[in-house]
Amino acid sequence: MNFDKEQFKAAVQRRLTRDFSKDIGQNDTHDVYDAVAASVLDGVIKNWMKTRSAYDARRARTIYYLSAEFLMGRALGNNIINLCIKDAVLEALKEAGIDYNTIEEQEPDAGLGNGGLGRLAACFLDSLATLNYPAVGYGIRYRYGMFEQRIENGFQVEYPDNWLKYRDPWEIRRSDADVEVLFGGNVAVRHEADGRDHFFLENAERVTATPYDTPIIGYGTDTVNTLRLWEASSPDGFDLQLFNEMHYTRAVARQNSAEDISRVLYPNDSGPSGKALRLKQQYFFCSASLQDMIRSYTSVYGEDFSKFADLHVIQLNDTHPVVAVPELMRLLMDEHRLEWDEAWAVVTKTFAYTNHTILAEALEKWPIDIFQGLLPRVYQIVEEINRRFIADLRSRFPDDYDKQNRMSIIRSGMIYMAWLAIHSCFSVNGVAALHSEILRTKELKDWAELYPAKFNNKTNGVTQRRWLLSANPRLASFITKYAGSGWETDLSVLKNLEKYADDDAVLNELLEIKRANKEDLASWLKETQNEFLDPESIFDVQIKRLHEYKRQLLNILHIIYLYNRISEDENFAPPARTFIFGAKAASGYRRAKSIIKLINSVAAKINNDKRVGGKIRVVFVENYRVSAAEKIFPAADVSEQISTAGKEASGTGNMKFMLNGALTLGTLDGANIEIVEEAGEENAFIFGLRAEEIHAMDKEHSYNPQHYIGQNPHLARALNQLVDGTFDSSPQMFRELYDSLVYGVEGQRPDVYYVLADFDAYCRAQEEVAAAYTDRQGWAKKTLLNIARCGKFSSDRTIEDYVRDIWKLEKIKID
């Protein structure tokens, strides 16, 4: 991008005066942020338009990424980096007397996602634009994103995330591209002159979908792709009649009902939603997106759909958008007069599905009555898809009634969205090698036998532009200095660092960078939470959603154990450690919230105990989100990836840590396996039961936590402290947690996630960490080798894998 400093300064000033009637000197920082962002966007518009016309002119095959979540975080810093104008912008702002860091901190995160799945979608968009692939992201413009978390008395308290309080300067509303989405009503039939039946809805609720476009700027290229998010409203506004009769609540009921659809993100990660509004959200953005695609398509090809599947590939990010499958059938048949077989041929060549989890509670299923009530015509189509599928199964497995029943898309009053996806899509992928293997051989065995060619793996990745170049400028310069440039778009270049593995001067430089990043994190936490962190200590970090399978409990039990040793034996002097947690719990997930309270109670106790003397500190970072993550990853020494083996599909936090030179302390789960494969086992700390062992114990019901408690007095003691008043004056506070581990509650088996089984191995791995850390050069060497060997975990590599095996796109160069 051509950048003219004087022009840019003038643009910022012009916007401040025109939009806010202010001077640059009047330091109202949010307005200045807005003016700066809008001025950057100005410079992008031309390439954005050029990109669209290039795709149109070339009739380019395009990937449409359908996702209920896009966890984008902040845009300003990322955009000026991808435009390669960061230095120039900083200089211009400095001359204008504006402090860039203050401005940057004004931008609220676009927190339109829960965690890994939503952040993956964001990394994919960045890579697609950078690699010059035609791509559109489709989702929902939630008025309120992921809730803001505050810790009050140690408890998580949720506040609405009012991220649009000021306007979002990056989005463009496009009312000219509105579409209408229908809910409820009844299916009516009209017999047409051509002898066919025409199905349509009567008495349905009409909802307007309005698109908002955000530019997705590729790094060092002119490509600017689009993220299109839909807002819901009522086409009829409020009811003036009722209003005039002073029925104010009823007057706006219709309007509210429509607006509710895009009001708020469901804060569930890998958990059940089961709510009608959630299904409404899913259908709303799927229908709007498909209508959008069809409108552009028919404007060129008319009603001939024979090219549709050549030009569109639609990736379904988990089961959330799977209702798009029957909706495309409906649109093609009811609105565009295709026969079933013609429509089915298009649909089955267009959709591909990504599975993100094997946790049973996360596999979406909808009660028929909810589904049918909300989407009566779509339900008929799902029934017909299933009828034909079961007929096919019967002919293949005439005697296997059990299989026919197991695989039925509709069963016991429920619609199984994953089954619908696997049957209808031409590709089904998992997100790490182990995960895809478990899908193929266990969870989805029936399906992999029926459709072996559909199944494949695409190991996740993260974008190095945000997670290294932007988040960790010190390390980025170090890498350019020693490995050379080019890693920004080819992460395998980091390999060049390996030759410095025994170079003390280089290793010292690396240690100094980590030290400086730790100081930065310490001052940020001092400022925002009044927490004191000692940058001399090991920063041992677990940041991710709070979930039992991720085992924050294992981490905190080890901390309790360490605390016991330190407080009893003043000669016990392990290297000082700071245990850093960041995690949001789903609002309805009581046990997860209890774990947050426990972490904070343990922190309060330990941080105020003089006997501990700074040997350990526990810090809970409030409101974990992308912009916090960008400050934490660069400062981490140890990456806690301690999920129960077989439960974490991939993880991507593990990759961001590796990229920033933290060493993995983890189980052989998800992408951890591939991470140690690349880094070398000697450069990570691996412990615990393997997925196969856990699977066998699960199957045989052979796990008995008492066995481990009886063998390990340290463990018994730590557990007991949950309920003896050590960490809370009420012994009832953590009773439920204790019972869930030791006895099992609500009909569950005890310790479903094998925390106690892995406790001893985890403690020993932690001892290895402490010992390794005291050898500073040895640690630095491991750090350097981790960075050098993390090339595989760029989302650029992931995207190239998707393109080669599934999407079959061509790069389009914009000039």
**Distance in angstroms (rounded) separating the CA atoms of residues 498 and 482:** 10
DSSP 431: S
- CA angle (135, 120, 579) in 5-degree steps: 160
Asked if 116 touches ligand PLP (CB under 6 A), the answer is yes
Report how many residues bind ligand PLP under the rule CB under 6 A: 12
Residue placing its CB nearer to ligand PLP in the complex, 74 or 625: 625
**Distance in angstroms (rounded) separating the CA atoms of residues 44 and 33:** 17
Asked if 145 touches ligand PLP (CB under 6 A), the answer is no
Least separation, in Å, of the C-beta of 544 and ligand PLP? 3
Asked if 580 touches ligand PLP (CB under 6 A), the answer is no
Do 361 and 411 touch, CB atoms closer than 8 A?
no
Q: Kindly report the backbone phi and psi dihedral angles of residue 640, in degrees, each rounded to the nearest multiple of 5, phi listed first.
A: -85, 110
Least separation, in Å, of the C-beta of 743 and ligand PLP? 29
Q: Which residues contact 537 (CB under 8 A, 6 or more apart)?
A: 575, 576, 577, 578, 614, 617
Q: Which of 320, 342, 319 is nearest to 329 (CA)?
A: 342
Contact window for ligand PLP (CB under 6 A) among 298-306, 311-319, 497-505, 651-659: 651-659
Do 649 and 358 touch, CB atoms closer than 8 A?
yes
Asked if 154 touches ligand PLP (CB under 6 A), the answer is no
Helices (H) and strands (E) in the chain, counts: 34, 25
Return the residue of 651, 666, 705, 791 that touches ligand PLP, per CB under 6 A. Answer: 651
Return the residue of 626, 675, 694, 755 that touches ligand PLP, per CB under 6 A. Answer: 626
Residue placing its CB nearer to ligand PLP in the complex, 71 or 204: 71
Cα separations (Å) of 262 from 143, 205, 206, 207, 610?
6, 15, 14, 11, 50
Residue placing its CB nearer to ligand PLP in the complex, 115 or 137: 115
Contact window for ligand PLP (CB under 6 A) among 113-121, 125-133, 168-176, 316-324: 113-121
Contact window for ligand PLP (CB under 6 A) among 256-264, 275-283, 295-303, 623-631: 623-631
Least separation, in Å, of the C-beta of 589 and ligand PLP? 15
Least separation, in Å, of the C-beta of 152 and ligand PLP? 22
Active-site hit among 312, 356, 625, 789: 356
Residue placing its CB nearer to ligand PLP in the complex, 626 or 772: 626
Contact window for ligand PLP (CB under 6 A) among 99-107, 114-122, 180-188, 532-540: 114-122
Asked if 544 touches ligand PLP (CB under 6 A), the answer is yes
Active-site hit among 545, 551, 558, 584: 545
Residue placing its CB nearer to ligand PLP in the complex, 119 or 558: 119
**Partners of residue 112 on adjacent β-strands:** 70
Least separation, in Å, of the C-beta of 788 and ligand PLP? 22
Residue 604 tokens, joined:
């309060």
By DSSP bridging, strand 577-582 and strand 197-202 are unpaired
597 counts as catalytic = no
Do 792 and 671 touch, CB atoms closer than 8 A?
no
How far the first Cα of the chain sits from its last, in Å, is: 12
Q: At what angle do helices 755-774 and 776-788 cross, to 10 degrees?
A: 110
Asked if 115 touches ligand PLP (CB under 6 A), the answer is yes
Residue placing its CB nearer to ligand PLP in the complex, 218 or 670: 670
Asked if 617 touches ligand PLP (CB under 6 A), the answer is no
Residue placing its CB nearer to ligand PLP in the complex, 493 or 671: 671
Least separation, in Å, of the C-beta of 309 and ligand PLP? 33
Residue placing its CB nearer to ligand PLP in the complex, 471 or 598: 471
Cα separations (Å) of 617 from 274, 316, 544?
40, 42, 19
Phi-psi label, residue 45: left if phi above 0, alpha if psi -120 to 50, beta otherwise: alpha
Least separation, in Å, of the C-beta of 576 and ligand PLP? 25
Do 144 and 484 touch, CB atoms closer than 8 A?
no
Helix (H) or strand (E) holding 738: helix 735-742
Contact window for ligand PLP (CB under 6 A) among 402-410, 520-528, 652-660, 763-771: 652-660
545 counts as catalytic = yes
Least separation, in Å, of the C-beta of 652 and ligand PLP? 4
Residue 362 one-letter amino acid: A
Contact window for ligand PLP (CB under 6 A) among 58-66, 153-161, 167-175, 649-657: 649-657
Residue placing its CB nearer to ligand PLP in the complex, 115 or 169: 115
Least separation, in Å, of the C-beta of 584 and ligand PLP? 9
Q: Where are the alpha helices (DSSP H) in 408-503?
A: 417-424, 433-438, 445-450, 464, 473-483
Least separation, in Å, of the C-beta of 39 and ligand PLP? 28
Helix (H) or strand (E) holding 9: helix 5-20
For the CA atoms of 563, 565, 570, 571, the dihedral, rounded to the nearest 10 degrees, stands at -130
**Distance in angstroms (rounded) separating the CA atoms of residues 332 and 336:** 5
Asked if 108 touches ligand PLP (CB under 6 A), the answer is no
Q: Which of residues 37-76 bind ligand PLP (CB under 6 A)?
A: none
Cα separations (Å) of 749 from 160, 226, 559, 667, 742?
35, 47, 25, 22, 9
Return the residue of 134, 653, 661, 666 that touches ligand PLP, per CB under 6 A. Answer: 653
Asked if 146 touches ligand PLP (CB under 6 A), the answer is no
Asked if 652 touches ligand PLP (CB under 6 A), the answer is yes
Do 641 and 631 touch, CB atoms closer than 8 A?
no
Q: What share of the chain is helix, strand, coil (3-state, %, to 5)?
A: 55, 15, 30
Do 410 and 368 touch, CB atoms closer than 8 A?
yes
Least separation, in Å, of the C-beta of 643 and ligand PLP? 9
Least separation, in Å, of the C-beta of 407 and ligand PLP? 31
Q: Which of residues 204-233 bind ligand PLP (CB under 6 A)?
A: none
Residue 578 one-letter amino acid: T
Contact window for ligand PLP (CB under 6 A) among 112-120, 283-291, 371-379, 774-782: 112-120
Active-site hit among 435, 656, 781, 789: 656
Do 578 and 640 touch, CB atoms closer than 8 A?
no
Residue 745 tokens, joined:
């509650």
Asked if 77 touches ligand PLP (CB under 6 A), the answer is no
Least separation, in Å, of the C-beta of 100 and ligand PLP? 23
206 counts as catalytic = no
Return the residue of 63, 347, 629, 719 that touches ligand PLP, per CB under 6 A. Answer: 629
Tell me how long the chain is. 815
CB-based closest residue to ligand PLP: 653
Q: At what angle do helices 29-58 and 5-20 cross, to 10 degrees?
A: 110
Do 592 and 552 touch, CB atoms closer than 8 A?
no
Asked if 312 touches ligand PLP (CB under 6 A), the answer is no
Asked if 466 touches ligand PLP (CB under 6 A), the answer is no
Contact window for ligand PLP (CB under 6 A) among 115-123, 275-283, 308-316, 791-799: 115-123
- Work out the widest C-alpha separation in the chain, in whole angstroms: 93
Asked if 709 touches ligand PLP (CB under 6 A), the answer is no
Do 810 and 511 touch, CB atoms closer than 8 A?
no
Residue placing its CB nearer to ligand PLP in the complex, 577 or 625: 625
Q: Which residues contact 17 (CB under 8 A, 6 or more apart)?
A: 23
Residue 386 tokens, joined:
């299933």
Residue 630 tokens, joined:
């960008």
550 counts as catalytic = yes
Active-site hit among 226, 652, 664, 783: 652
17 counts as catalytic = no
656 counts as catalytic = yes
Contact window for ligand PLP (CB under 6 A) among 79-87, 300-308, 326-334, 621-629: 621-629
Task: List residues near ligand PLP by CB under 6 A.
Answer: 115-116, 119, 544-545, 625-626, 629, 651-653, 656
Catalytic residues: 356, 544-545, 550, 652, 656
